[in-house]
Structure 1
Amino acid sequence: MSFTWTPHRFSGGALALDVANSVILRHDDARRLDRFAAPGHLDSFSKAAANFCAERALFGDVRPVPPENKATFVRLREAIDGYFRARILAEAADGLLADLLDALSSTMRLAAAPDGLDAATVRSTLRLLVMPEEDRMKICGNCGWLFIDRSKNKSRAWCDMAVCGNRAKATRHYQRKKRENAP
């Protein structure tokens, strides 16, 4: 099956969140899919980020993560997801913050180039840590991805209206019609 990175895959609003969202259906063990586990997907992610990431003006073209640093980068991805997901859900995140800071420092120590995906992800994560309106960070009600709500009234519920929003609305419509037509 062929796969390409599309604009929808970069709907997190920050490179660090897009990296965290590279795991599809993260909390469904039967259907979970790690896009970075497939050969070449991590390299193609860095190229796609230059075109689709909301922070592309800050980071521009980013070099792929060297193969020897992949495990450290994946550890960073998991720490980003764990910490920010807990923060959004207002769960205790102190231990997760320590894990995130450790992953950030390990990644920066190994970063081969200042313009690498790993270094850019660290900088994006640090920007999120000091984000002034942390209530703008949310979890998509459909797919569970992390995203920044940049709507004026902070009412966005989906990472991408064209994909998750439409799916959620279609599901509600189907359920409503099913109830109306029930005997």
Structure 2
Amino acid sequence: MSFSWTPHRFAGGALALDVANSVVLRHDATRQIDRFAIRDQMRDFPRAAGEFCAERALFGDIAPVAAEHEAGFIALREAIDLYFRQRILNGGGDQLLARLLDATARTLREASPGSVAAATAHSVLRLIAMPDPERMKICGNCGWLFIDRSKNRSRAWCDMTVCGNRAKANRHYRRKKEETP
């Protein structure tokens, strides 16, 4: 199966969320795909992030994760997803925040300063301090995390051109099917 990092893959609005979203269909264990399980995709991620990520101006060119830091980077990714997903659903919790802060601190101590891991850790800190945490949402179609920057805070999908269109097409299909005798 062919794969490339496209703008849609960076619909989260923050590097930390884009990293968490590297697991596709996280909520469906039978169809789940971990894009970082393939080393080449993990190595290509920083270049694409520099091109497509909403925070690209903050970190400039970033280097891939060094092989010896990959496990820590994956642990950071999982802590990001767990904490922010729970914060959206039911306000998070001190234990999950402590786990995220521990993974973030470990990454900042161990990762190279110009690496995607270090940039992700800084992105986490910005998200924790985000002034409008209610703007962080979960896509109603794919389950990715994203920041709703719409004026009226009504965005329901990570990317209107992909998930929004799929959801609308699915709704239209169901409506037409119900109308058919």
Output the TM-score relative to the length of structure 2.
Answer: 0.98
Aligned partner letter, 1:35: R
Aligned to 1:166: 165
Q: Give, as a single letter, the amino acid of the residue that structure 1 aligns with 2:124.
A: T
Gaps of 5+ in 1: none
Give the length in aligned residue pairs. Answer: 181
TM-score by length of 1: 0.97
Gaps of 5+ in 2: none
Alignment of 1:3-152 (within 5 A): 3-112=3-112, 114-152=113-151
Q: How big is the alpha-carbon RMSD for the aligned residues of Structure 1 and Structure 2?
A: 0.8
- Output the CA distance in 2 between the equivalents of 1:39 and 1:82: 23
CA distance in 2, matches of 1:39, 1:147: 25
> Once the 2 structures are TM-superposed, how far is the Cα of residue 160 of structure 1 from its aligned partner?
0.1
CA offsets, 1:58-82, max 9 Å, x none? Answer: 1111100001100000000000000
Q: Could you tell me which amino acid in structure 1 is paired with residue 75 of structure 2?
A: R
Runs of 4+ in 1 over 2 A off after TM superposition: none
**In percent, how many aligned pairs have the same letter?**
67
Q: Which amino acid aligns with 1:178?
A: K
Where 2:46 maps in the other structure, the secondary structure is helix
Distance in structure 1 (CA, Å) of the matches to 2:90 and 2:97: 13
SS of structure 2 residue aligned to 1:138: strand
Matched residue of 2:18: which SS?
helix
